[in-house]
Amino acid sequence: MSIKTMQSVEVQNLLQKVAGFNNGSGDERVKTIVHRVMQDIFQIIEDFDITPDEFWQAVYYINELGGNGEAALLAPGLGMDKYLDIRLDAADEQAGLDGGTPRTIEGPLYVAGAPKTEGFARMDDGTEEGAETMILTGRVTDEEGQPLVNAVVDVWHANTKGAYSYFDQSQSEYNLRRRIVTDENGRYTARSIIPAGYGCPPEGSTQQLLNLLGRHGNRPAHIHFFIAKTGYKHLTTQINLAGDKYTYDDFAFATREELVVDAVRVEDEVHANAFGVEGPFTRVEFNIQLVATNKPELQNRHERKRALETAVV
């Protein structure tokens, strides 16, 4: 079947009315974008001969996706978060604000308001049997390597099952989530546990579509960071641990070569004692360079809906 109606006056008039171009109210930017989106969807229906059955499957898929709260999970799976990062990188470059530690996607699992401590935080609640102790250390500096004191390093990661507290109600409040204020040398230290990678709910809408694309829905073991300091560009980033099956095959496209970090097993007791740890542990080091800016709008994380966030802090 090859039905071509897109160029007809009837369809073009329909699109004009759909976007509200024939009225004097509403929002011009929204109208223009909706017009373009609907034109592109109509065109896809024409080009791929989408049948009514296929169309209604897609409509009810979107219903289910929203119903089970997975829209912000499908987005990174379809490369949208990565694409926004590519655009932000390009904008930084154009403004002469590139450099420093690279950004990568936030993901949908941040929870605002984690406990804040100076220099050091214990992140895990000690309840996970058999978890590998992790000592995470790093320095926050400017691009010249000067330490940034009182930078806020907001860290969050999954447990050994790849699950995040708050979303996984079986974990204690703010488990594996902390804000650490850097010390006089720009240092932060966290004691926690080595996380496992996240996997999309196997029966969820995101995985359903990924299956049709022949793709898995897994992420490597990773640790998220927001780093904030007045006078510097806010940084949203993550480290992916080296050696994970998915380090270079992240369904959410967050891996960047500069953000792949070795997790080093330490068996030495003296080293362990220095961190107050008994027995072997795993060390992860992540140093962070921030880029100076006097633009206030670049010093805060961008706005999006986040768990327990009432205002950007």
Q: Contact between 107 and ligand BEZ (CB under 6 A)?
A: yes
Q: Rounded to 5 degrees, what are φ and ψ at 272?
A: -65, -45
Q: Which is nearer to Fe ion, 107 or 217 (CB)?
A: 107
| Contact (Cβ atoms closer than 8 angstroms) between residue 217 and residue 251 | yes
List 222's β-bridge partners, or say none.
Answer: 240
Q: How far apart are CA 175 and CA 122, in angstroms?
A: 10
The site for ligand BEZ, by CB under 6 A, has a size of 8
Q: How far apart are CA 71 and CA 185, in angstroms?
A: 41
Out of Fe ion, ligand BEZ, none, which partner does residue 210 contact, by CB within 5 to 8 A per kind? none
Q: Which stretch binds Fe ion (CB under 5 A): 18-26, 54-62, 100-108, 250-258?
A: 100-108
Q: Which is nearer to ligand BEZ, 81 or 183 (CB)?
A: 81
Can you spell out the DSSP letters for 103-124?
P----S--BS---EEESEEE-S
Applying CB under 5 A, among 107, 195, 197, 220 the residue interacting with Fe ion is 107
Binding mask 243-262 for ligand BEZ (x = CB under 6 A): ---------x----------
Q: Which is nearer to Fe ion, 36 or 304 (CB)?
A: 304
Beta strands in 234-311 (DSSP E): 235-241, 260-261, 263-266, 281-285, 288-289
| Contact (Cβ atoms closer than 8 angstroms) between residue 110 and residue 156 | yes
Cβ 109 to Fe ion shortest distance, Å? 5
Out of ligand BEZ, Fe ion, none, which partner does residue 76 contact, by CB within 5 to 8 A per kind? ligand BEZ
Cβ 176 to ligand BEZ shortest distance, Å? 12
Closest CB to ligand BEZ: residue number: 107
Q: How far apart are CA 47 and CA 135, in angstroms?
A: 54
Q: Contact between 220 and ligand BEZ (CB under 6 A)?
A: no
Out of Fe ion, ligand BEZ, none, which partner does residue 176 contact, by CB within 5 to 8 A per kind? none
| Contact (Cβ atoms closer than 8 angstroms) between residue 258 and residue 237 | no
Q: How far apart are CA 151 and CA 292, in angstroms?
A: 13
Q: How far apart are CA 194 and CA 122, in angstroms?
A: 13
Q: Contact between 163 and ligand BEZ (CB under 6 A)?
A: no
Applying CB under 6 A, among 19, 42, 70, 73 the residue interacting with ligand BEZ is 73
Q: Is the dihedral of CA 175, 130, 73, 103 positive or negative?
A: positive
Helix axis angle, 52-67 relative to 205-212, nearest 10°?
Answer: 140
Cβ 61 to ligand BEZ shortest distance, Å? 18
Q: Contact between 219 and ligand BEZ (CB under 6 A)?
A: yes
Q: Contact between 109 and ligand BEZ (CB under 6 A)?
A: yes
Q: Which is nearer to ligand BEZ, 151 or 196 (CB)?
A: 196
Cβ 198 to ligand BEZ shortest distance, Å? 4
Binding residues for ligand BEZ (CB under 6 A): 73, 76, 107-109, 198, 219, 252
Binding residues for Fe ion (CB under 5 A): 107
